Amino acid sequence: MKKIFFAFLLCLICIAVDARVHKGNTLSLKMPCKLLTGITERDYSIYLPGSYGKNPQKKYPVLYLMHGGGGSHTDYQHHFHLSQVVDRLLSDGIIEEMIVVCPEGNQQNMMYFNATEGDNGAPDWKYEDYFFKELIPYIETTYTVRTDKDGRAIAGFSMGGGAATVYGVHHPELFSMVYDISGYLRSQQLDFLKNDTSANWRQWVIDKNNPILRIENGTQEEISAWKTVDWKVAVGDHDFTIEGNMDLVKAFRKRGIPYSLFIDTGVHDGIWVQPCLEDAIKRADTHFRKEPK
């Protein structure tokens, strides 16, 4: 009996130690900013695994998570329990450790792309420049992370899904995976935008960055580059973005670009996001497991 008791006790200790090792933390922080007009600091959230900082030689892969319109960099933690999801997948041995970065895309101007002052009433807003010229370099110099393509992935919901897709189209050399969750890919006539005074310029900028048209008209060189990305499209069957996402899939098919598609019962809400978030983390991990080249 004593042997059984001590074996059981040892098992409990191992479980407790394992849970402590895998318990990460999502922090809400600020970084310096020069490229966004009138802003000197920009908010972001970051999930750091439990082992972060214990081995200075270890470099972690990074998943960038883009929130939806009207949301915040804290959405994935507050509404979708980011830390708990990653910790559970780690404890279950399903994924390996990673860092997850959630940029802020709503404060001041709800837009993930560049806008030029005066264009259709737009302000001066260079968010895409900020993302690639300030945010990613800041993450890669502040934290011990991988900087290779296989060590970097991006995903997002709604406005964030559109941004993830466009960023992947613009910079396929930087991302191993792009995961589009109900992405807002082109302008749509939506009731909640009727009284939004900034809607006209934002819709105009979104259409200017339409990834469907860009893929349809891409060069052979661009198509070859897009084929190196793992594209996943997930959308609910009653989501108002389904037609746009199906046209994205048609563009992939037309140009011979491999992709994965998931459609299930759902509308444009957080209930749909939760399982897709977990799937995006697991899918990114399959690329993160590759050795840096």
Instruction: Give residue 192's pLDDT.
Output: 65
Grouping H, G, I as helix, E, B as strand and the rest as coil, residue 93 is coil
Mean pLDDT by 10 residues, the chain (293 residues): 47 44 89 97 98 94 97 97 98 97 96 95 96 98 98 98 98 98 92 75 96 98 98 97 98 98 94 95 96 76
Specify whether the CB–CB gap between 53 and 141 falls below 8 A.
Answer: no
- Token couple for 126: 């260079």
Where does residue 138 rank: exposed (0-12), middle (13-18), buried (19+ CB within 10 A)?
Answer: middle
Q: Whole-angstrom Cα distance, residue 230 to residue 83?
A: 24
Specify whether the CB–CB gap between 156 and 163 falls below 8 A.
Answer: yes
Q: How many CB atoms lie within 10 A of CB 208?
A: 16
Instruction: Give residue 189's pLDDT.
Output: 82
Cα–Cα distances in angstroms (integers) from residue 138 to residues 62, 82, 100, 142, in the given order: 13, 22, 14, 6
Give the ranges where 23-158 is alpha helix by DSSP (H).
75-78, 82-91, 127-130, 136-142
Instruction: Give residue 58's pLDDT.
Output: 95
Nearest alpha-carbon partner for 103 in 177, 45, 60, 26:
45
Q: How far apart are the first and last CA of the chain?
A: 53
Q: Identify the DSSP state of 68.
A: P
Instruction: Give residue 19's pLDDT.
Output: 42
Q: Does the reported pTM lie above 0.75?
A: yes
Domains of the chain (ranges; CATH) run 24-288 (3.40.50.1820)
51: region left, alpha or beta (phi > 0 left; psi from -120 to 50 alpha): alpha
Q: Identify the DSSP state of 119.
A: G
Q: Whole-angstrom Cα distance, residue 198 to residue 59?
A: 41
The backbone torsions φ and ψ at residue 27, rounded to the nearest 5 degrees and listed phi first, read -110, 145
Instruction: Give residue 291's pLDDT.
Output: 80
